[in-house]
Structure 1
Amino acid sequence: MITWSENYTMGIEEFDFEHKKIFEIAGRILDRVRSRGDEAFMRLFIIQEGLNYLNSYFERHAKKEEAYMRKIGYEGYALHKMQHDDFTRVQLAKYQKIASSGQCSKKDVLDFVGSGIGWLLEHITTADMAIVGKGVLTDPPVTSISQAMLEEKLNLLFTATLNLESNVKIVSTNYRGEPFGKAVYQKIVYERDGREINVISGIEQSFLMDVAKTLYGDSVENELDLVLSTVEMFGARFWISLSRELIGTGSKINIKENNFLVGSLLSEEIRRLNPTTSILFTSDKGKFFLTCDSDQLFLPDDDPSHVQVLNEQ
């Protein structure tokens, strides 16, 4: 069972019902793969049936949501529609190809559920909430970024997306890959207005598992593929939402590449990145970090005076 939270409620009954239904579909797929995922025929049946149902259901839902945005003259319509299109074109198409091959592994099915939930969870709690004037993306863009502001924005984003009171604090603004416990590391390439932005991020495993258990239940401890696929998608989109909290929703930021990074390579990868931003955070749930080779992830324009956090100690 995948846990639904009232934190995901927009206040439009039809859309809230449909969002909850999508979570239920994913939950049924997960229950089936947990009970019969060792059977090759059943795995293929599960992913094919899930894709067929989710494709048609998501398409209908997206069209209704887009019609509503046009009706109210929502200024973020174009960007929001692009996110819907990307989910169908990239996420669902990836697993459609696997299903069409005639064979799939248990990992494939868990990846299908995890990446889908990771995308939906982040999308519903940020982009969809903005349609009705709720959530973290409705505040005006900032004109400068201090450490205190960044901590505040991250706390708001964790509360909005994961319903977590995390009490985020900055530990260092010059993180270079020093160990801080067992962690999962991600290497992400974004594109903003034609410019590449390279990011390395990581999160303490205890933090990650705490969130996963809240979402999927205690049995997720034995389902690392599900956990990793969820964090891979959610994590990449989380930093986009932080960027939009800071600079506004006008810029298009796409995910070009998104992969996990071996921990033994972390320090060398950060050195090669030559980051302009490299911040280690702590929280009530655990530590995490963000390194980035371009301030364009946080800048509303080309004026570096907007970013004060980089040099504060």
Structure 2
Amino acid sequence: MNQIVWKDSYKIGVDFIDKEHKQLFSTMNKLLKISESEEKSEWACREGVKYLRNHTTKHFEHEEEYMKSINYSEYEIHKRLHDNFRKYTLPALEAEMEMNEYSEDSVRHFLGVCIGWVVGHTQTEDQAIAGKTMSKWMDIPHEEEKDALEAAVIQLVKEIFHLEAQMISEQYAGEDFGKVVCCRFLYHGEKKEKWEVTLVFEDRLLLKVIRGILNAEYPRVDDMVLNVTRYLSRQFLERLRESFPSIDLMNLEKESLLTHEQLVNSFERSQPSCSLLFDTGEGYFAFCVAAGDSVRGKIASVVNPDNAMDAIKKYLAKGNKKEPETAEPLQRKKKILVVDDSEFMLARMVKMLSESYELIEATSSVSAIKKIAVNRPDLVILDYEMPVCDGRQALEMIRSDKDIADIPVIFLTGKGDRESVKNVMSLKPEGYLLKSMPDEDIKKNINGFFAKSKS
């Protein structure tokens, strides 16, 4: 049975507030129990929701009185969040349940939103009352912005998801790292400027987080997981806005759920101004921001209080859609990572190989290692001469990491002298080709490698 687990980390150190928070969790657990009971009645659900609403309203009033008594500097922001939840979010959810006669789906939607909002709010905004706040980043030099944002995201991942994150790429471009949920939010600031923020969660990360909140096994992403995720994401962005006033996420205009394909298509139209990829140890998480003119038009159906249940069902249906059966199974294209600091050479390889293979491009050895970590290729085609870290050093890094040491590497280089070839042979590359070779010979060698490895 689903039960929200009360943790000491939720405490803020103010006794009566902590007790009321614990009571809120207990009330939501009772509603969860009612919603999962085979004998549940509309009356029981209605009374449970009414009790939760009344308790929430009283708790907000008590918390606001306490904030005023200590002259809490962020009182107005905190109260605005309370007002938005009690005046808009809760009434919209209750109206939806009434309209659907307290159906199982509508009650699950109500609980998913409430759990996501209350847990996220308790872990972030309420912790701030007790002085557990994030640094505010104001008027920082441009070259330091990304470092500050990286630090803020890592801290928020720890606060909200209780995971230790490490940034592995500052140029995430939609690389496929498994099943994902993509939450996109469009905001406008006080001066009407637009901000588009996308949070990308690997499924296994979300399931780990939800298991921690509800103390239940979730084998796959469902409507409850999505609704909790949506409102945890909003809390995440609200805390980020407070720490980065320059990212003016004042008013939420639209919310969408994207498939991975839609995410990649949107990146192809315009890459976000900031796109960071993190490894949490329990799955990958990406944070992407586009501002001003780079914000794109409609790319997915909007999720709002009037259509949330249907929008989530459609989104889940897309993710669960099976490929049509064919007489012969479709063969996945082999994936090749081409590493070369020459744009001309990369373009040459794309023209030569893209019809037969899925290509990933990297312009440096460091970039190549990062891309291998999130999108493992079947073959690496590696240039020898590159600045900072050359091809031999890149191959040494690959061979020294047990997780990727077995990835085959073929050198494609302009260096054909005996000494250069000798220097890399001990690292056992699968081949050593020269750029001066005709395209058809290069492609023939690559095709031959895959044919040989298949047999």
- Relative to the length of structure 2, the TM-score reads 0.58
- The corresponding residue for 1:111 is 109
TM superposition shift of 1:157: 1.7
1:288 maps to 2:290? no
- The corresponding residue for 1:8 is 10
Q: Which runs of 5+ in 1 are unaligned?
A: 297-312
1:158 maps to 2:157? yes
- The corresponding residue for 2:137 is 141
Contact 1:236–1:255 (8 Å) recurs in 2: no
User: CA–CA distance in 1 between the matches of 2:99 and 2:147?
Assistant: 50
Please list, as runs of the form range in 1=range in 2, the aligned pairs for 1:143-222 lying within 5 A after superposition.
143-144=140-141, 145=144, 147-164=146-163, 166-171=164-169, 173-193=170-190, 194-221=192-219
Please list, as runs of the form range in 1=range in 2, the aligned pairs for 1:222-237 lying within 5 A after superposition.
224-237=222-235
TM superposition shift of 1:227: 0.8
Contact 1:190–1:256 (8 Å) recurs in 2: yes
1:131 maps to 2:129? yes
User: CA–CA distance in 2 between the matches of 1:32 and 1:8?
Assistant: 25
Q: Per the alignment, in what secondary structure is the counterpart of residue 228 of structure 2?
A: helix
Contact 1:198–1:292 (8 Å) recurs in 2: yes
1:243 maps to 2:241? yes
Of 269, 275, 278, 2:275 maps to 278
Output one character per residue of 1:62-107: Cα deviation in whole Å (capped at 9) or x when no partner: 1111111222222211111100000112220111212332613322
- The corresponding residue for 1:28 is 30
Higher relative contact order by CA 8 Å / sep ≥ 6: 1 or 2?
1
- The corresponding residue for 1:95 is 93
Of structures 1 and 2, the larger Rg is shown by 2
Q: Which amino acid aligns with 1:56?
A: N
User: CA–CA distance in 2 between the matches of 1:96 and 1:117?
Assistant: 15
Greater alpha carbon shift after TM alignment, 5-14 vs 287-296 = 287-296
Residues 271, 33 of structure 1: alpha-carbon distance in 2 compared, 3 angstrom cutoff: same
TM superposition shift of 1:183: 0.7
Q: Per the alignment, in what secondary structure is the counterpart of residue 218 of structure 2?
A: helix
User: CA–CA distance in 2 between the matches of 1:254 and 1:4?
Assistant: 31
- The corresponding residue for 2:390 is none
In angstroms, what is the RMSD of aligned CA positions?
Answer: 2.6
Contact 1:3–1:215 (8 Å) recurs in 2: yes
User: CA–CA distance in 2 between the matches of 1:160 and 1:120?
Assistant: 14
User: CA–CA distance in 2 between the matches of 1:175 and 1:163?
Assistant: 23
Residues 56, 201 of structure 1: alpha-carbon distance in 2 compared, 3 angstrom cutoff: same
- The corresponding residue for 2:372 is none
User: CA–CA distance in 2 between the matches of 1:221 and 1:108?
Assistant: 21
TM superposition shift of 1:146: 5.2
Q: Which amino acid aligns with 2:155?
A: L
Residues 286, 292 of structure 1: alpha-carbon distance in 2 compared, 3 angstrom cutoff: same
Percent of aligned pairs sharing the same letter: 26
Contact 2:173–2:271 (8 Å) recurs in 1: no
User: CA–CA distance in 2 between the matches of 1:146 and 1:102?
Assistant: 47
- How many equivalent pairs are there? 289
Q: Per the alignment, in what secondary structure is the counterpart of residue 181 of structure 1?
A: coil
Residues 185, 222 of structure 1: alpha-carbon distance in 2 compared, 3 angstrom cutoff: closer
Contact 2:97–2:107 (8 Å) recurs in 1: no
User: CA–CA distance in 2 between the matches of 1:27 and 1:15?
Assistant: 18
User: CA–CA distance in 1 between the matches of 2:16 and 2:218?
Assistant: 31
Contact 1:198–1:273 (8 Å) recurs in 2: no
Structure having the larger proportion of residues in helix: 1
Of 71, 74, 79, 1:73 maps to 71
TM superposition shift of 1:279: 2.0
Residues 223, 156 of structure 1: alpha-carbon distance in 2 compared, 3 angstrom cutoff: closer
Residues 105, 295 of structure 1: alpha-carbon distance in 2 compared, 3 angstrom cutoff: same
- The corresponding residue for 2:347 is none
Q: Which runs of 5+ in 2 are unaligned?
A: 294-366, 368-455
Q: Which amino acid aligns with 2:154?
A: N
Q: Per the alignment, in what secondary structure is the counterpart of residue 213 of structure 2?
A: helix
- The corresponding residue for 1:269 is 266
TM superposition shift of 1:234: 0.7
User: CA–CA distance in 2 between the matches of 1:196 and 1:3?
Assistant: 37
Contact 1:151–1:170 (8 Å) recurs in 2: no
- The corresponding residue for 1:302 is none
Q: Per the alignment, in what secondary structure is the counterpart of residue 35 of structure 2?
A: helix
User: CA–CA distance in 1 between the matches of 2:234 and 2:95?
Assistant: 23
- Relative to the length of structure 1, the TM-score reads 0.83
User: CA–CA distance in 1 between the matches of 2:260 and 2:46?
Assistant: 35
Output one character per residue of 1:132-169: Cα deviation in whole Å (capped at 9) or x when no partner: 21243xx34352545554443233222222333x2322
User: CA–CA distance in 2 between the matches of 1:47 and 1:273?
Assistant: 46
Q: Per the alignment, in what secondary structure is the counterpart of residue 92 of structure 1?
A: helix
TM superposition shift of 1:24: 1.0
Output one character per residue of 1:244-284: Cα deviation in whole Å (capped at 9) or x when no partner: 234499x6623222221122222112334542122222221
User: CA–CA distance in 2 between the matches of 1:29 and 1:183?
Assistant: 29
